[in-house]
């Protein structure tokens, strides 16, 4: 995505659809098997050229965590700020795999816009960015 932005070469609708479909399949596999990735961001997807187009693979499971592990507490610092769900920006210790889905949505928007959707520099600014786009929660 960085090289596309630098060259002002936008993703086509078909590329976004195909890459996001593969990303959703990868994350669904992780979730189905009882884990959350917790660090979904463009840098953690590897793309190669295959015979039938681009092939996307999910990487970097260093922050992955079992959904069913109730013995140890969840950590509040996960995910890169620009892709962090609001509950993580609020430092909650009560979250689930939906944080991965939020990050995928932020990535999809970035692919269409050619720039990050929520480029906050601090936790507070991150929340302001999210609320300015999605509205203030009730």
Mean pLDDT by 10 residues, the chain (138 residues): 73 93 98 94 92 92 84 64 88 87 95 91 92 89
SS3 of 77-100: the string is CCCCHHHCCHHHHCCCCCCCCHHH
| CATH number, residue 37 | 1.10.510.10
- Marked catalytic residue, from 39, 60, 69, 100: 39
Q: Are strands 45-50 and 53-58 parallel, antiparallel or unpaired?
A: antiparallel
Residue 50 lies in a domain: yes
Q: Is-catalytic flag, 69? A: no
pLDDT given for residue 102 in this prediction:
96
As for how many domains the chain has, the answer is 1
pLDDT given for residue 67 in this prediction:
86
Residue 26 lies in a domain: yes
Residue 87 lies in a domain: yes
Enclosing domain of residue 126: 2-67+78-134
Residue 72 lies in a domain: no
């Amino acid at each position: 995505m960085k090289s596309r932005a630098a060259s002002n070469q936008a993703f086509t609708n078909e590329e976004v659809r195909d890459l996001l479909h593969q990303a959703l399949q990868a994350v669904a596999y992780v979730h189905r098997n009882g884990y959350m990735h917790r660090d979904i961001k463009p840098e953690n997807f590897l793309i190669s050229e295959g015979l039938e187009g681009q092939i996307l693979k999910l990487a970097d499971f260093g922050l992955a965590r079992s959904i069913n592990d109730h013995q140890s507490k969840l950590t509040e610092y996960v995910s890169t700020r620009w892709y962090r769900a609001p509950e993580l920006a609020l430092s909650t210790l009560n979250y689930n795999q939906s944080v991965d889905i939020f990050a995928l949505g932020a990535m999809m928007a970035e692919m269409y816009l050619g720039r990050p959707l929520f480029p906050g520099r601090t936790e507070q600014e991150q929340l302001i960015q999210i609320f300015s786009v999605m509205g203030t929660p009730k």
